[in-house]
Structure 1
């Protein structure tokens, strides 16, 4: 892929009739044929590989919270291991890559010379310090800090409380104390009387669940909620069912909000900066809920617009 991109850029540089595009292609080639680019490229590939499973898990609507939290811890551990042990293997891999494509590999003991900047205005450091500390360590620390910020101690405790509702392995993750603490986080929905009732309701609930064949084979909180509604257990254990609803809404709402903000940048850009809230909302809903709107036949949509007002001809 790297060689193919360079080849295409070379063609653009040599054959493009527009001078600006030719110059831009030359700049890109110059950047791609540098040690800095190759090192950064390999570093990003490794980091994205470490966090890929976590990223995919957090983007799914039917999130498995237990596995997601486990992946957070695994990603942190792998990033820390990479920081401590994988600088030398990375440097060796990058050096081999550079040798294949005849890219100059700087001497790590030499003084670092930044590209495009005056040497006199830069602090005197070696190439080794720049690439290992200012780049390798800095990027990994940034990723670790981002994970720590997004999954703080309080957020982690909240999600771990939610995992106690998981019915896998005959409700092996069940912990009444954590579920009561989860309810205490929603004072507007659980009064003091509700908390007292919840404690007794949970004790009855777990015995009922573990002795019912319909529930012992369940593997997710979503399946548990469906089965409770099917067997009308949501009426028998209303407070427990409310906790389950909150547990289901929490991760989905987070992922949905993230997707909505990402979509907003696509819909409302500089050419549509004066778009009103109503029109923006009308554009966002079909874009975000593509699966729903794809299932609606075009004929139904045409008939709907046809009936909205009289038209000179049929759509």
Structure 2
């Protein structure tokens, strides 16, 4: 999360101060390869609009405001959407389960705050019990050598199961599992589930999981698959195995 803050700060600095640096680099590049350098004070006119209907602006305004700052704003907006206040707090709280350096990042209050984001899993009464389990849990794992070499929250969950501590601290284990599924519980995953309603129609209701997955991936990643031509697909299919007959498209 510190790196996210650094990225946001750097984008803000780029927007305010780095335009002159970029313009100087572009001018050097143009001079080196004998390319024409635009006069930033000349009037800019959009290609698809007539001079009368086009908004009057200078090249400096177009390239700095319409392009340079707009791209930076889009990147900053993407960061803000993915790491808003709630998501940031969730990630910070989740990181308290990091087992490195004898659970040096452990913070009882943050983990209880994480549990409060799941009221259906942890009621007010359950939170009191969770607090007691967390206090006992951290004391236990810090003196247990089996937990000294693990890395990551997934490794913590696996070690809890192998040592049967998930039975001793069931509420702690539930919170660990919720932390593990948090990275995939995003808007993109929710959109993937909504796509299933489009792909898995009544006519395709009997398809298996593998075929359903194969249909979902191209639909969800349409921006990538639109670049794959039909010719490439046919060649790939043709090279998979020796077939008795050529593809119908090849025959036509």
TM-score, normalisation: structure 1: 0.60
Matching residue of 1:283: 211
Q: Which runs of 4+ in 1 moved over 2 A?
A: 69-75, 92-105, 216-219, 252-261, 273-289
- 2:170 paired residue among 194, 213, 238: 238
**2:90–2:114: 8 Å Cα contact kept in structure 1?**
yes
Matching residue of 1:81: 13
- 2:61 paired residue among 126, 129, 144: 129
- Find the aligned partners of 1:84 and 1:258 in 2 and give their Cα distance: 36
- Find the aligned partners of 2:209 and 2:17 in 1 and give their Cα distance: 49
- Find the aligned partners of 2:203 and 2:25 in 1 and give their Cα distance: 49
The question of 1:106 aligning with 2:54 is answered: no
Shift in alpha-carbon separation, 1:237–1:137, aligned structure 2, 3 A: same
Matching residue of 1:53: none
The question of 1:251 aligning with 2:183 is answered: yes
Q: Deviation of residue 101 (structure 1)?
A: 5.1
Q: Deviation of residue 98 (structure 1)?
A: 3.5
Q: Deviation of residue 178 (structure 1)?
A: 1.0
- Find the aligned partners of 2:203 and 2:133 in 1 and give their Cα distance: 50
Q: Considering Cα pairs closer than 8 Å and 6+ residues apart, tell me whether 1 or 2 has the greater RCO.
A: 1
Query: 1:164 is paired with a residue of what secondary structure?
Result: helix
Shift in alpha-carbon separation, 1:256–1:146, aligned structure 2, 3 A: closer
Matching residue of 1:141: 73
Summarize deviations over 1:91-136 as a string: whole Å, max 9, x none: 2232333445554321001112222311222232211111111111
- Find the aligned partners of 2:28 and 2:116 in 1 and give their Cα distance: 57
Matching residue of 2:156: 224
Shift in alpha-carbon separation, 1:105–1:117, aligned structure 2, 3 A: farther
Shift in alpha-carbon separation, 1:197–1:145, aligned structure 2, 3 A: same
Summarize deviations over 1:244-271 as a string: whole Å, max 9, x none: 000001113449828958x98xx97xxx
How many positions carry a matched residue from both structures?
215
Shift in alpha-carbon separation, 1:288–1:116, aligned structure 2, 3 A: closer
Task: Give the unaligned 5+ runs of structure 1.
Answer: 1-68, 290-315
**1:110–1:126: 8 Å Cα contact kept in structure 2?**
yes
- Find the aligned partners of 2:159 and 2:148 in 1 and give their Cα distance: 11
Matching residue of 2:89: 157
Matching residue of 1:174: 106
- Find the aligned partners of 2:77 and 2:5 in 1 and give their Cα distance: 13
**1:164–1:178: 8 Å Cα contact kept in structure 2?**
yes
Shift in alpha-carbon separation, 1:115–1:101, aligned structure 2, 3 A: farther
TM-score, normalisation: structure 2: 0.74
